[in-house]
Structure 1
Amino acid sequence: MTTFDKREEAFEKKFALDEELKFKAEARRNRLLGLWVAEKLGLSGDAATAYAKEVVAADFEESGDNDVLRKVAKDLAAKGIELTDVEIRTKMNEFLAEAVAQVKAGQ
Structure 2
Amino acid sequence: MSNFDKREEGFEKKFAMDEEQKFKAMARRNRLLGLWAAEKLGMSGEAATAYAKEVVAADFEQPGDNDVVHKVTRDLAGKGIAVTEPELRAKMDELLAQAVAQIKAGT
**TM-score interval, smaller chain:** over 0.9
Counterpart Cα distance in 1 of 2:76 and 2:53: 16
Counterpart of 2:105? Answer: 105
**SS at 2:81's partner residue?**
coil
Counterpart Cα distance in 2 of 1:105 and 1:63: 28
Q: Which aligned pairs between 1:21-100 and structure 2 lie closer than 5 A?
A: 21-100=21-100
Counterpart Cα distance in 2 of 1:83 and 1:14: 38
Percent identity over paired residues: 75
Q: RMSD across aligned C-alpha pairs, in angstroms?
A: 0.4
Counterpart of 2:7? Answer: 7
Identify unmatched segments of 5+ residues in structure 2.
none
Task: Report the AA paired with residue 53 of structure 1.
Answer: K
Aligned residues: 107
Q: TM-score, normalised by structure 1?
A: 0.99
**SS at 1:42's partner residue?**
coil
Counterpart Cα distance in 2 of 1:104 and 1:24: 11
Counterpart Cα distance in 1 of 2:98 and 2:14: 22
Quote how far apart the aligned CAs of 1:96 are: 0.1
Runs of 4+ in 1 over 2 A off after TM superposition: none
Counterpart Cα distance in 2 of 1:45 and 1:92: 22
